[in-house]
Amino acid sequence: MEPTHVPPESRPSIPPISVGDRKLTFGDRCYIMGVVNVTPDSFSDGGDFFERPRAVEHGLELAEAGADIVDIGGESTRPGADPVPTEEELQRVLPVIEGLADETDALLSIDTTKADVAREALEAGADLVNDISGFGFDPNMPEVVAEADVPCILMHIQGTPETMQEDISYDDVVDDVADYFETRIELAVEAGIDEDKIILDPGIGFGKTVKQNYRLIRELSNFCELGRPLLLGTSRKSSIGAIIDEPPKERVWGTAATVACGLWAGADIVRVHDVEEMWDVVRVTEAVAGMRPRE
């Protein structure tokens, strides 16, 4: 299938998502999510922001650079990564969330697959939950999200971070991801989560080949018919390195290409490390795509 641009006026109407006293509206702009990895071993910046003061400072820098959402995670999900105990993950993320909640108006997202971490992070000031397992690793996660009545991001993954690149198998990656989304939405709604608070992420790099990752970006518009906002996370990933043969921190402009193509194909949120540079990319691509000019 050829790359498809989805003009805002031709997409299914997506109701705004209420987050506290704020609303995220879709179709007329793309939101930027900045990444704060409070980990010693993330693939892109492992250890750079492991200490609380530096992590908080970095989150504030991302917000100042234009991030609408700051995503805080305390467990690496790179291929082959080992799980982190709940208490250790909490010790990593809670001080950072508390520090950012006092200092920025940007929305705060907790990047976790653990219900206990999500619950305490939301109490500490997080506004939404980003679950890379799509509620697949912890059966208590849907209940936590439903009780808190917060938005959630449900990502597609095949396997776990430890195993996801070992035995990649799909009948058709786009169709299979779409089917997965439908089952995850159904599970969430049955748990009491408002469907209007669900965001979908196709999981670039999570149990896919390089070719499959680029196909998902190219054909992202296939998921628009589900009527939910789409998040695209390509930043600095190995699929970009496979093309330009650069280490993660040198993949800024490769990332920019995927951000522009993803927005063109229907992404509503882009998750990136290099917010300042991607702010320019998003604004210009929005103009080309016919979205509302930013003030």
**CATH classification of the domain holding 224:** 3.20.20.20
Q: In this structure, what are the phi and psi dihedrals at residue 35, rounded to the nearest 5 degrees?
A: -105, 130
Domain that holds residue 61: 8-289
Q: Comparing 35-44, 135-144, 221-230, which segment has the lowest mean pLDDT?
A: 35-44
Q: What is the pLDDT of residues 116-166, one digit of tens each?
A: 999 999 999 999 999 999 999 999 999 999 999 999 999 999 988 777 788
C-alpha closest to that of 155 among 137, 139, 175, 143: 137
Domains in the chain: how many in total? Answer: 1
Residue 295 forms part of a structural domain: no
Residue 48 forms part of a structural domain: yes
Residue 272 forms part of a structural domain: yes
Residue 3 forms part of a structural domain: no
- 206 with 245: CB under 8 angstroms? no
- 80 with 120: CB under 8 angstroms? no
Q: What is the mean pLDDT of the chain?
A: 91
Share of the chain above pLDDT 70, in %: 92
The two tokens of residue 167 are: 């035995």
Whether 119 sits among the annotated catalytic residues: the reply is no
pLDDT of amino acid 167: 80
Q: Which three-class secondary structure state does DSSP give residue 32?
A: strand
- The H-or-E segment that residue 61 falls in is helix 52-65
pLDDT of amino acid 290: 86
Residue 277 forms part of a structural domain: yes
- The H-or-E segment that residue 244 falls in is helix 238-244
Q: What is the DSSP string of 212-238?
A: HHHHHHHTGGGGGGG-S-BEE--TT-H
* R_g (Cα) of the chain, nearest Å: 17
C-alpha closest to that of 234 among 274, 174, 175, 276: 274
Whether 271 sits among the annotated catalytic residues: the reply is yes
Q: What is the pLDDT of residues 181-204, one digit of tens each?
A: 999 999 999 999 999 999 999 999
Residue 260 forms part of a structural domain: yes
Residue 49 forms part of a structural domain: yes
**What totals of helices (H) and strands (E) does the chain contain, helices first?**
9, 10
Residue 146 forms part of a structural domain: yes
CA-CA distances (angstroms) from residue 251 to 114, 205, 235, 278?
30, 15, 8, 12
Pairwise pLDDT comparison (4 vs 85), residue with the higher score? 85
* Rounded Cα distance, 209 and 165, in Å: 8
**Residue 45 in this model has a pLDDT that exceeds 60:** no
Q: Which three-class secondary structure state does DSSP give residue 41?
A: coil
Q: Which of 78, 228, 236, 271 is catalytic?
A: 271
* Rounded Cα distance, 229 and 202, in Å: 11
Q: Which residue matches tokens 């402009």? A: 253
Pairwise pLDDT comparison (45 vs 149), residue with the higher score? 149
Q: Which of 237, 249, 283, 294 is catalytic?
A: 237
* Rounded Cα distance, 129 and 108, in Å: 9
- The H-or-E segment that residue 152 falls in is strand 152-155
